[in-house]
Amino acid sequence: MTGWSAPTRETLFVLNDVLGVTRSEIPGYDMLDEDTVQAVVEGMGRFCTEVLAPLNPVADAQGCTRHGDGSVTTPDGFRQAYAQLIESGWNTLAADARYGGQGMPHVLGTVFEEYMNSACPGFMMYPGIVNGATSTIISAGSDHLKDTYVPKVISGEWLATMALTEGHAGTDLGLMRTKADPRGDGSYAITGEKIFISGGEHDLTENIVHLVLARLPDAPAGSRGISLFLAPKVLPDGTRNALGCAAIEHKMGLNGSATCVMTFDGATGWLLGEPNAGLAAMFIMMNAARLGVGVQGLANAEHAYQRASAYASERKQGRAMGQRPDPAAAADSLLVHPDVRRLLLDVRAFAEGFRALVLWTAMQIDAAHHGDEEADALVSFLTPVIKAFGTDQGFASAVAMQQVFGGHGYVKEWGVEQIVRDARIGMIYEGANGVQALDLAGRKLAKDGGKVAMRFAAMVEADLADAPGWLATPMRAALADSTAAAQAMLAQAASDPDALGAGSYAFMELIGLVSVGWMWAKIVQAVDGRDDGFAQAKRVVARHFAERRLPDSMALRCRVEAGAANLMAMPADMFLREA
Amino acid sequence: MTGWSAPTRETLFVLNDVLGVTRSEIPGYDMLDEDTVQAVVEGMGRFCTEVLAPLNPVADAQGCTRHGDGSVTTPDGFRQAYAQLIESGWNTLAADARYGGQGMPHVLGTVFEEYMNSACPGFMMYPGIVNGATSTIISAGSDHLKDTYVPKVISGEWLATMALTEGHAGTDLGLMRTKADPRGDGSYAITGEKIFISGGEHDLTENIVHLVLARLPDAPAGSRGISLFLAPKVLPDGTRNALGCAAIEHKMGLNGSATCVMTFDGATGWLLGEPNAGLAAMFIMMNAARLGVGVQGLANAEHAYQRASAYASERKQGRAMGQRPDPAAAADSLLVHPDVRRLLLDVRAFAEGFRALVLWTAMQIDAAHHGDEEADALVSFLTPVIKAFGTDQGFASAVAMQQVFGGHGYVKEWGVEQIVRDARIGMIYEGANGVQALDLAGRKLAKDGGKVAMRFAAMVEADLADAPGWLATPMRAALADSTAAAQAMLAQAASDPDALGAGSYAFMELIGLVSVGWMWAKIVQAVDGRDDGFAQAKRVVARHFAERRLPDSMALRCRVEAGAANLMAMPADMFLREA
C-alpha cells in the first residue's frame, strides 16, 4: 500500500467518453483505438504504481547527497527505477519519431506525466524536462547538435537541464551575468553561476545536457541580449566539461530532486538558435515545462485525495447527525460528516475537471504540432492558467486533504504532509504564479485585444447549450464575470500602466474557474442518460462545483474591477514594519 | 537579524488608539496607563525579539530527542531561554494574583502570546498551556490540589500538559479507553495511552503536571462517562509516577515542541471536578487553548509579513510598468509590482484587523472574569471563529509571503518555509477547524436561536455608523450575507440534521470576515483626521480589505445556502477511487 494507485478508470473515461480521442480527427490520432488507449494507460499506470510509488517516502527521507568531488547521489532505488523506465519504453511514447521516439500523441504522454507526478514527483523531475529540452534543440539547434544530442536524450541514455536562473536575478532574466565568449571554432566558453538547476548533477545517466542562458560579448543590455547554449557535462571527446555542481539546496520538499548550484568555468558550449534570441528559444522549453507543472498540481491533488478518501472511509469517529449507516456501532466513518464530504468533493471538483482540461489542452498541442494555428493560440492562452491555477489548486487540495487526517495529517508517517511540502514548489518554479497571471493578462489577453479570450468564451458558451440548468446558469454567470473583468481591466489599462498587474491574478483565477466548469459541462454530457454509480458521482461532483465553487467568480470580478489605485497608493516605505 | 522583531508600534496603536484600554471601565484596567502599557509591551517585545527569536531556526533544525530512558532533550538554548523567561516574570504577568501571578489584565498576556508565537512557536508550546491548565485546576480542583500545583505552575517552576487524545479517537472523546481505578485513598490508578501530548516530557522543569481524561469503572458510555484527573510526573513524595514518554512524533514542523506518546501504567492521579464531568472541566482548558491557537495564526502572519516585506523592499528585480522610482537603475524593487503589493496587503489586511479582534476579545475575557455575562457570551461566540479563521488565514498568509521570495521561499535558509510548516498545525490541533465551525453553527448559533449572533451583528452595525462609505457599504453587504446565511442554515436545520454541518464552514468564514472588517472600521475611526504615513497606510489597508476581501461574502453565503442535499447525495462507496 503506497497510498496511491493510477486512476486509470478516470483517465480512460476522460480520454474515451469526454474527449473522444479515438474519434478525433487530429492527425496521428488514427492510431488510437480503445484497446490501444487502454493498454497504454494501464501499462503506464502499472509502472508508476509498482515501480515509482514505493520510492516516494524514501526520496523524501533521504534526499540527495553531494560528495566532495561534486558528484551527486540520488535516493536509494532511483537508479534502478530509472533503468526500468528506459527499459519500459514509456518515456519515449510521445517523443518525436524522427529521433527515436514512438511518435504517439502528446495526450498520452500527458497521462504519464500525471501518473509519474503522483507516484514520485522527486523522481519525475529528472525525465520531466526531456520533452521541453528536446523540442528546444530540435527547433533551434544545428543539424549536428540535433543528431548528436536529441536521440540520446529522447532514449533516456542522457538527461538534460534548463540552466536559466541566477542568484541575483530570478524572473528578471535581463539582469543575467553569465557570459559566453566565442572561441573561433564555433564553440563558446561559458562562465558564470546558475542556481535552482533541477537535476544539474546526479547519478542516473553518464551525461547531462545543459541548456544554458548566457550573454555574448557586446550583447545588448537586458533580455534582448541573452542567448541560449548547449553545454554537456561530458564533451564529445569523452572529457569532462568545465562545469559542475557547487552545492545542492536544502528545500521544504521535493527532496528526491537534486536542486543544484551550477558553476560554469569556461565550459564549452554551442549556440542554440540565433545570437541574442535566447529568450524565444527558452520559451519553447518553458511552455512545455509550465504545462508539466500544472499537471503536477493535478497529480498532487489526486494523490492526496486518494489517501484522504481511504482514511475517511476507514476511520470511525463521531456519529452522523442524520441517518446512521450502522446504528449499533460506537462510531461512524468520517464520511457521515458533511464537512468532511465538502473537503473531499472540493478536491474532486478541481481534480476531475482539471484532468479533463489538461488532456483537452494536450489534444490542442497535438493539433498545433500539425499546423492548427487556432489550437496553438488556445494553448498559449491556457498555458499560464494551467500552470498557475493548477498549482494553486493542487497545493490547496493537498492542504485540504491533510485536514481530513486530523493530527495524523501533520505526522510524517501518514505520507500526506509530504504531498503538501512537495506541492508547494509548483506555485513558484517555471515562473511564479504571479508572473503567469501577468503573462495571461498582458501577452495573452491585452496584446491581441481579447480575440483569443473571446474565442475561448464562445467555445465554453457552445458547450453550455446542452448542459443542465443547475450547471449552465452559474457557468453563464461566471463566464459573464470573466468577460466583464477582462473588459474592465483592458479599459483601466488604457490610462493606468499598473492595471494589468493589479487585476491579473484574479483574472487568471476567473479563467481557471470557468475552464474547469467548462470541462464539467463536457463530463456531465458524457454521462448523460447513464444512472450507474460512476455517472451519479460525476453529477454530484459537478453540482458541487456549480454550487460551491463557481460563486467565487463574483468576488474575483470585484477584485479585478478594484484596479490598481489603492494598491499603488501605499507609500513604499510604509511596507516595512517599524518596531 | 532574525527576520522578526516585536511589532510594538502596531500593538500600542491597537491597545491605546483603537481599543482604548487605558480609558476602559473593565475592572482591573484602572492599573493601565499609557506609560505602563508601553513599558510592558516593549519589555515583552524585547524579550521575545532578543531571547526567543534566535532559537527559532535551531529549534526547527534540531527538534527534540527522546533517549532510551524515556527522557527528552529540547533544542539547544531552550533550557536557558526558559530560565530567562521565569527570571523575567513576563510569564506571570496576567496570571491569577491569588496564586502568585501579577494579576494584570489578560489583554496584556495576549500580546505576549502573539510575540512568543512569532518569535519561536516551538518554544511557546511549553508555557502556552499554563493559562488553560491553571484555570482548570483553579475552577475544578480541591483546595489541596490548587495549593499544591497552581502556584508552582504559575511561577513556571513546573509545566503542565493536556492529555486528551488517544490513537483511535481524536475529536471523538467518547471513544476514549484510558481508565482510572479508585484506590480507596482518594487517589486513582490511571492506565492507558495518549498521543499528541505537547510537552509530555522535556528537560525544562523538574516536574510536569498532566491533566488526563480517563474513565471511571462503571462510567456511562460515550462522552458522558469521562472524568478529568491530575497526574504529576513526580509525586509529592518525590518518587516518579508510573507514566512516561514512549515516543515522540516526527512532524511537518513545530519541531521544537516535543509531541509525545504518553503511557500511563497505573499512574497515580486525583480527580479534578466531579466524576463523569471531565468534558466540562476540559472545555475550560480548551477554550483558552483555542484562543491561543488563533493568536498563533496572527503571529505566523505577522512574522511571515515582516520577512516578505523586507525581502520585497531590498530585492531588485523587474521594472515598474508605471512610474519608476529610479529610472537609472537596472531594476526596481519588488514593491513596484502591483501583484506583489497585493500579496503583502492581503496579509496586512488580515493580520492588523485580526490583532485588533483578538485583543478586543481578550478585553471581553477580562470583563467576563469580573462577571459580565454578555461579554462571556461574545467570547464563546467568537472563540471558534478566532481559532479557525485565525489559523486558516495565518497559514494562508505564510504561504502568500513565501510566494514573495520566489524560489528562495522554498529553500530552508530563508526561514519563511519554516513558518508555513509550523503554521499548518494550527488548523488541526485543539479541535480541527471543521469542528470549530460546527461548534459555532451548532452550539453558539443554533442553540440560543441566534441571539448572540444578533447582538454581534448589532455591535458591528453600530460601529459602521461612523465609517466612510467605501468601508461601510461593503461591510453592510457582508453583514447582510452573514445574517442571510445564518437564517438559511437555521431554516434548513429544521428539517435536515446535516444542514449545520454542511453550512458551518462557510458560515464560520463569513463571521471571520465580518469580524475583521468590523475591526477595520474601528481602526479607520482611530486614525480619523490624521494624515501621517502611519494613518495613510491604515486607510490603504482598510480599503484593500473592503475592495478585495469583503466581496468573498457573496460566495460564502451561496455555499451556506447550497445546504446538505448534494453533499449527502454522494454514495459512500463512490468516494474511493477504483483503479
How many domains does the structure of chain B reveal? Answer: 3
Any idea what the CATH number is for the domain that residue A80 is in? 1.10.540.10
**B471 and chain A: CB distance < 8 Å anywhere?**
no
User: Is residue A130 over pLDDT 80?
Assistant: yes
The three grid cell numbers given for residue A211, joined into one nine-digit string: 541548456
Per-residue model confidence (pLDDT) at position B327: 82
Per-residue model confidence (pLDDT) at position A544: 98
User: Is residue A171 over pLDDT 80?
Assistant: no
Of A306, A567, A577, the CB nearest to B345: A567
A208-235 tens-digit pLDDT: 999 999 999 999 988 899 999 999 999 9
Q: Is residue B531 part of a domain?
A: yes
Q: Is residue B340 part of a domain?
A: yes
As a whole number, mean pLDDT of residues A455-463 equals 98
B120-137 tens-digit pLDDT: 999 999 999 999 999 999
The pLDDT > 70 percentage for chain B reads 99
A397-453 tens-digit pLDDT: 999 999 999 999 999 999 999 999 999 999 999 999 999 999 999 999 988 889 999
Among A10, A313, A318, A118, which residue's Cα sits nearest to residue B434?
A: A318
Residue whose C-alpha cell reads 475561448 in the numeric block: A456
The three grid cell numbers given for residue B578, joined into one nine-digit string: 477504483
Q: Å from A416 to nearest chain B CA?
A: 10
Interface test with B, best of A567, A568, A573 (most B CBs within 10 A): A567
Residues A463 and A561 placed together within one structural domain of the fold: yes
The model's pTM: 0.97
The three grid cell numbers given for residue A491, joined into one nine-digit string: 479599459
Q: Taking CB atoms and an 8 Å limit, are B536 and A434 in contact across chains?
A: no
Residues B246 and B291 placed together within one structural domain of the fold: no
Residues B478 and B506 placed together within one structural domain of the fold: yes
**B573 and chain A: CB distance < 8 Å anywhere?**
yes
User: Is residue B170 over pLDDT 70?
Assistant: no
Per-residue model confidence (pLDDT) at position A1: 52
The whole-angstrom separation of Cα B15 and Cα B24 is: 10
What is the DSSP track for B220-241? PSGGGG-EEEEEESB-TTSPBP
What phi-psi label fits residue A254: left (phi over 0), alpha (psi between -120 and 50 degrees) or beta?
left
Query: Which residue of chain B has the CA closest to A41?
Result: B579
A276-297 tens-digit pLDDT: 999 888 888 888 889 999 999 9
Task: Give burial (CB, 10 Å; 0-12/13-18/19+) of B148.
Answer: middle
The whole-angstrom separation of Cα B129 and Cα B116 is: 13
Per-residue model confidence (pLDDT) at position A519: 98
The three grid cell numbers given for residue B526, joined into one nine-digit string: 482611530
Looking at beta carbons, which residues of chain B come within 8 Å of A410? Answer: 251-253, 424-425, 428-429
Bridge partners of B230, per DSSP, are B211, B270
Residues B342 and B447 placed together within one structural domain of the fold: yes
Q: Is residue B577 part of a domain?
A: no
Per-residue model confidence (pLDDT) at position A538: 98
Q: Is residue B437 part of a domain?
A: yes
As a whole number, mean pLDDT of residues A385-403 equals 98
User: Is residue B579 over pLDDT 70?
Assistant: no
Residues B547 and B433 placed together within one structural domain of the fold: yes
User: Is residue B1 over pLDDT 70?
Assistant: no
Q: Taking CB atoms and an 8 Å limit, are B250 and A577 in contact across chains?
A: no
**A43 and chain B: CB distance < 8 Å anywhere?**
no
A513-566 tens-digit pLDDT: 999 999 999 999 999 999 999 999 999 999 999 999 999 999 999 999 999 999
The three grid cell numbers given for residue B98, joined into one nine-digit string: 491569588
Per-residue model confidence (pLDDT) at position A174: 77
Residues of A catalogued as catalytic: 430
B344-361 tens-digit pLDDT: 999 999 999 999 999 999
Interface test with A, best of B118, B323, B410 (most A CBs within 10 A): B410
Residues B269 and B346 placed together within one structural domain of the fold: no
Per-residue model confidence (pLDDT) at position A365: 95
Q: Å from B480 to nearest chain A CA?
A: 16
Residues B308 and B259 placed together within one structural domain of the fold: no
Instruction: Specify whether the CB–CB gap between A307 and A415 falls below 8 A.
Output: yes
Distance of CA A128 to the CA centre of its chain: 10
**A420 and chain B: CB distance < 8 Å anywhere?**
yes
Query: Which residue of chain A has the CA closest to B11?
Result: A579
Per-residue model confidence (pLDDT) at position B112: 98
Any idea what the CATH number is for the domain that residue B257 is in? 2.40.110.20
Of B321, B497, B562, the CB nearest to A547: B562
Looking at beta carbons, which residues of chain B come within 8 Å of A536? Answer: 569, 571, 574
- Of A168-172, B12-16, B483-487, which gets the smallest average pLDDT? A168-172
Q: Is residue B579 part of a domain?
A: no
What's the domain range around B53? 8-136
The whole-angstrom separation of Cα A514 and Cα A480 is: 10
Residues A120 and A174 placed together within one structural domain of the fold: no
What is the DSSP track for B491-506? HHHTT-TTHHHHHHHH
The pLDDT > 90 percentage for chain A reads 91
Among B168, B222, B225, B215, which residue's Cα sits nearest to residue B189?
A: B215
**A443 and chain B: CB distance < 8 Å anywhere?**
no
Interface test with B, best of A252, A387, A538 (most B CBs within 10 A): A252
Per-residue model confidence (pLDDT) at position B91: 96
Q: Taking CB atoms and an 8 Å limit, are A175 and B544 in contact across chains?
A: no
As a whole number, mean pLDDT of residues B146-169 equals 94
User: Is residue A319 over pLDDT 90?
Assistant: no
Q: Three-state SS for A181?
A: strand
- The overall average pLDDT reported for chain B is 95
What is the DSSP track for B398-437? HHHHHHHTGGGGGBGGGSHHHHHHHHHGGGTSSS-HHHHH
**A67 and chain B: CB distance < 8 Å anywhere?**
no
Helix (H) or strand (E) holding A521: helix A499-526
Residues B234 and B258 placed together within one structural domain of the fold: yes
A9-53 tens-digit pLDDT: 999 999 999 999 999 999 999 999 999 999 999 999 999 999 999
As a whole number, mean pLDDT of residues A234-246 equals 98
Of A343, A428, A543, the CB nearest to B403: A428
Residues B263 and B242 placed together within one structural domain of the fold: yes
Q: Å from B350 to nearest chain A CA?
A: 15
**A437 and chain B: CB distance < 8 Å anywhere?**
yes
Q: Is residue B570 part of a domain?
A: no
Residues of B catalogued as catalytic: 430
Residues A129 and A169 placed together within one structural domain of the fold: no
Among A234, A167, A246, which residue's Cα sits nearest to residue A205?
A: A234
Q: Is residue A492 part of a domain?
A: yes
**B1 and chain A: CB distance < 8 Å anywhere?**
no
Those of residues 331-390 in A touching chain B at CB distance below 8 A are: 331, 333, 335, 337-345
B222-265 tens-digit pLDDT: 889 999 999 999 999 999 999 999 999 999 999 999 999 999 99
Q: Taking CB atoms and an 8 Å limit, are A165 and B407 in contact across chains?
A: yes
3-state helix, strand and coil shares in percent for chain A, rounded to the nearest 5 = 60, 10, 25
- The overall average pLDDT reported for chain A is 95
Any idea what the CATH number is for the domain that residue B412 is in? 1.20.140.10
Instruction: Specify whether the CB–CB gap between B242 and B265 falls below 8 A.
Output: yes
The whole-angstrom separation of Cα B164 and Cα B221 is: 17
Q: Taking CB atoms and an 8 Å limit, are B172 and A331 in contact across chains?
A: yes
Q: Taking CB atoms and an 8 Å limit, are A8 and B579 in contact across chains?
A: yes
User: Is residue B71 over pLDDT 60?
Assistant: yes
Q: Å from A345 to nearest chain B CA?
A: 8
Residues A79 and A112 placed together within one structural domain of the fold: yes
B28-39 tens-digit pLDDT: 999 999 999 999
Q: Is residue A515 part of a domain?
A: yes
Q: Compute CA distances A397 → A75, A424, A506, B140, B496, whole Å.
A: 27, 11, 19, 42, 28
Of A250, A322, A578, the CB nearest to B411: A250
ipTM score assigned to the predicted complex: 0.97
Query: Which residue of chain B has the CA closest to A8?
Result: B579
Q: Å from B130 to nearest chain A CA?
A: 22
User: Is residue A579 over pLDDT 70?
Assistant: no
